Amino acid sequence: MQKLVIKGGNALWGEILLRGAKNSALPILAASLLCSGETVLENCPRLTDVFAALRILTHTGCRCSFEEHTVTIHAENIVRSEIPEQLMQEMRSSIVFLGALLGRTGACQVYYPGGCELGPRPIDMHLDALSKMGVCIQRHEGRLDCTAPCGLKGARIHLRFPSVGATENIMLAAVLAKGETVLCNAAREPEICDLAEFLRRSGACISGDGESTIRIKGVKKLGGCAYRVMPDRIAGLTYLCAAAATGGTIRLRGTNGTEMENVLPVLEQSGCRVDRAEDSVYLHAPKRLKSCFRLKTMPHPGFPTDIQPVIMAAMTTAEGTSVFEENIFENRYRHVDGLVQMGADICVSGRTAVVSGVKELYGAHAAATDLRSGAALVVAGLCAAGTTEVRQICHIDRGYEKIEEVLKGAGADIARVQQ
């Protein structure tokens, strides 16, 4: 077991290189299963969730290699269409392999996925959509046996909520299906567009990604391609928030900020100077941030739920009161206890959290309860007086590649130590 030990108080400065997005790499890795040729994925982050996805691919018969930040996958010979429970439980995103395996083999056996720290994470929309596409689904104690006796066929599907995972699963199942799939009220996240672009370059026929209605005409075969994963907007914004909270100045390389346009204005309103360049985003923070008036998390292009915990950590020491409204997940205030332990003044009532800025946080011992709550504790620890210890950092390692090295490179006093 490892933990992060942070001595707070150093303003971040210098450059941080942003890697590829986890939430984009994972569905694209699943999509590689649909390709009969070679897939080369560049800018792939070295994260525990990515390694879990590679274990699933290898189990099905793919040959995978991972050198530096490039993954190469050969999926010519798929020998298994079942994924063992243990592999499915390693991460929540394992569910996107359902659509990919069905698309490739017409049958699969999977288990309900793991990673449910944010409250109930149903997959009813995924399963309803697949049923409409001709898949018979039998449930046996947590296992799903899926077959498409007459092959997958295109369908008209309306999602009651623009779920990211359901949109991805439907796209993966539809690209090789017979006929056209029309997906209404689809998720519009940038990672959906990245998946669509990878599939198009591999030979798929998709239009409308980034909008509410996605149209997919099934093709006979996908070839595979070389593709560069988009920058990780959530990791990037986490580092920008860390710089903002510590009164720092950083240049974030590897992005021009396009995929962060729905959040950067919040940092500007809190008093930061933000400049976008062709290959970087520059942030210069004031000594003390101003609070943000009211932030409501919403599906894209609304304010992303994944960055809510991290912005909240930055707002704990801002001047004034900030109000947050969480509308995506039931259980997304699990970072609040840790922040309060560090001296933050936060009042939660239902889906609303009111943060009254305090002058200073102080170091404490806290545990990450999920990926972004862990990131929030790290951001708070960087600006707190004294030493903060963050345990359960396996959650953080799911989404941030060597977070301590990135932050140390920007002047933070942070170390990973064995417990």
Which one of residues 41, 62, 281, 328 is an interface residue with ligand UD1 (CB under 6 A)? 328
Beta carbon of residue 343, minimum distance to ligand UD1 (angstroms, whole number): 28
Q: Which of 44, 62, 64, 116 is catalytic?
A: 116
Q: How many CB atoms lie within 10 A of CB 418?
A: 6
Nearest residue (CB) to ligand UD1, 163 versus 270: 163
Beta carbon of residue 24, minimum distance to ligand UD1 (angstroms, whole number): 8
Q: How far apart are CA 50 and CA 235, in angstroms?
A: 15
Does 369 help bind ligand UD1 (rule: CB under 6 A)?
Answer: no
The amino acid present at 252, given as its one-letter code, is L
Name the one range near ligand UD1 by CB under 6 A: 9-17, 82-90, 157-165, 308-316: 157-165
Beta carbon of residue 125, minimum distance to ligand UD1 (angstroms, whole number): 3
Q: Which residues of 302-341 are buried (b: 16+ CB within 10 A; e: fewer)?
A: ebbbbbbbbbbbbbbbbeeebebebebbeebbbbbbbbbb
Which one of residues 8, 114, 154, 165 is an interface residue with ligand UD1 (CB under 6 A)? 165
Which one of residues 329, 377, 398, 404 is an interface residue with ligand UD1 (CB under 6 A)? 329
| 68: nearest Cα among 91, 41, 93 | 41
* Total number of residues shown for the chain: 419
Question: What is 157-169 written as a DSSP string?
Answer: EE-SS--HHHHHH
Name the one range near ligand UD1 by CB under 6 A: 9-17, 159-167, 265-273, 334-342: 159-167
Which one of residues 94, 109, 163, 238 is an interface residue with ligand UD1 (CB under 6 A)? 163
375, 380, 381, 382 alpha-carbon torsion, rounded to 10°: 90
**Residue with smallest beta-carbon separation from ligand UD1:** 165
Does 47 help bind ligand UD1 (rule: CB under 6 A)?
Answer: no
- Structure tokens belonging to residue 383: 């600006």
Beta carbon of residue 124, minimum distance to ligand UD1 (angstroms, whole number): 5
Q: How far apart are CA 409 and CA 414, in angstroms?
A: 10
- Whether the link from the prior residue into 84 is cis, omega within 30° of 0, is no
Beta carbon of residue 166, minimum distance to ligand UD1 (angstroms, whole number): 5
Does 199 help bind ligand UD1 (rule: CB under 6 A)?
Answer: no
Q: Considering only residues 24-43, where is the footprint of ligand UD1 by CB under 6 A?
A: 26
- Structure tokens belonging to residue 300: 């894209």
Q: Considering only residues 124-153, where is the footprint of ligand UD1 by CB under 6 A?
A: 124-126
Q: Residues 412, 8: contact at Cβ < 8 Å?
A: no
Which one of residues 65, 136, 161, 179 is an interface residue with ligand UD1 (CB under 6 A)? 161
- Structure tokens belonging to residue 50: 């990515």
| Look-up of token digits 């990791």 | 235
Does 301 help bind ligand UD1 (rule: CB under 6 A)?
Answer: no
- Looking at residue 257, the DSSP 8-state letter turns out to be S
Which one of residues 54, 110, 164, 344 is an interface residue with ligand UD1 (CB under 6 A)? 164
Q: How many CB atoms lie within 10 A of CB 383?
A: 27
Name the one range near ligand UD1 by CB under 6 A: 56-64, 102-110, 121-129, 310-318: 121-129
Does 51 help bind ligand UD1 (rule: CB under 6 A)?
Answer: no
Q: How far apart are CA 335 and CA 324, in angstroms?
A: 13
Q: How far apart are CA 93 and CA 82, in angstroms?
A: 16
Name the one range near ligand UD1 by CB under 6 A: 1-9, 122-130, 268-276, 281-289: 122-130
Beta carbon of residue 197, minimum distance to ligand UD1 (angstroms, whole number): 16
Which one of residues 93, 94, 185, 255 is an interface residue with ligand UD1 (CB under 6 A)? 93
Q: How many CB atoms lie within 10 A of CB 274?
A: 18
Beta carbon of residue 329, minimum distance to ligand UD1 (angstroms, whole number): 5
Whether 116 sits among the annotated catalytic residues: the reply is yes
Phi, psi of 131 (to 5 degrees): -60, -45
Q: Residues 258, 234: contact at Cβ < 8 Å?
A: no
Beta carbon of residue 240, minimum distance to ligand UD1 (angstroms, whole number): 18
Does 306 help bind ligand UD1 (rule: CB under 6 A)?
Answer: yes
Task: For residue 67, give the 3-state DSSP assignment.
Answer: strand
Which one of residues 121, 201, 215, 253 is an interface residue with ligand UD1 (CB under 6 A)? 121
Give the dihedral sign, CA 73/76/77/82: positive
Beta pairing partners, 361? none
Contact positions vs ligand UD1 (CB under 6 A): 23, 26, 92-93, 121-126, 161, 163-166, 187, 191, 305-306, 328-329
Residues serving a catalytic function are: 116
